[in-house]
């Protein structure tokens, strides 16, 4: 059951797929424009929240889908290289206190913030294989495909939730 819940939540995020980090020690200051509560409306009118909080000057605490029984939590930080800026997410547990049972906890995304909208695209494992063996190999594969429109999955659009 534990493994199933984590697998379902990871699938909702399009998979916690990578075993290697791009960033070992966060050094880039967080982008405060992404801090807050974001919401997207799925088919059928169902909503999902994304919560992004500053954990430190260089790290985020991320929860998705925030406030739900299946919420997952990650530490996030920024990586810059090969002309790209990505968020590295390291998913470490769920709202039901379930911990990952394997080392496939990393996920990578690019994003843009425009006024009250954030557009997020996850790195595609169809282009960057899940079995990369090292951070250096991960960077090399991303660099080789950085101009490939298929490098990232379909866009997820979230709108900022204004709290009173």
pTM of the model: 0.88
CA distance 94 to 100: 9
Query: Cβ distance 17 to 107 under 8 Å?
Result: yes
Q: How many residues does the chain have?
A: 164
Residue with tokens 């880039």: 28
- Report the chain (164 residues): mean pLDDT per 10 consecutive residues: 38 68 97 97 94 98 96 98 97 92 94 97 96 96 96 97 84
The three-state secondary structure class of 139 is helix
């Amino acid at each position: 059951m534990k493994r199933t819940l984590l697998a379902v939540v990871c699938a909702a995020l399009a998979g916690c797929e990578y075993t290697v980090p791009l960033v070992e020690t966060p050094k880039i200051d967080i982008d405060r424009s992404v801090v807050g509560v974001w919401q997207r409306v799925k088919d059928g009118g169902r909503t999902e929240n994304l919560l992004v909080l500053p954990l430190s000057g260089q790290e985020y605490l991320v929860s998705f889908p925030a406030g739900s029984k299946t919420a997952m939590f990650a530490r996030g930080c920024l990586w810059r290289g090969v002309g790209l800026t990505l968020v590295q997410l390291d998913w470490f547990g769920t709202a039901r206190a379930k911990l990952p049972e394997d080392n496939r906890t990393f996920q990578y995304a690019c994003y843009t913030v425009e006024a009250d909208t954030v557009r997020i695209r996850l790195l595609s494992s169809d282009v960057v294989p899940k079995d990369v063996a090292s951070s250096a190999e991960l960077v090399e594969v991303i660099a080789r495909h950085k101009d490939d429109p298929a490098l990232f999955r379909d866009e997820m659009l979230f709108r900022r939730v204004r709290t009173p």
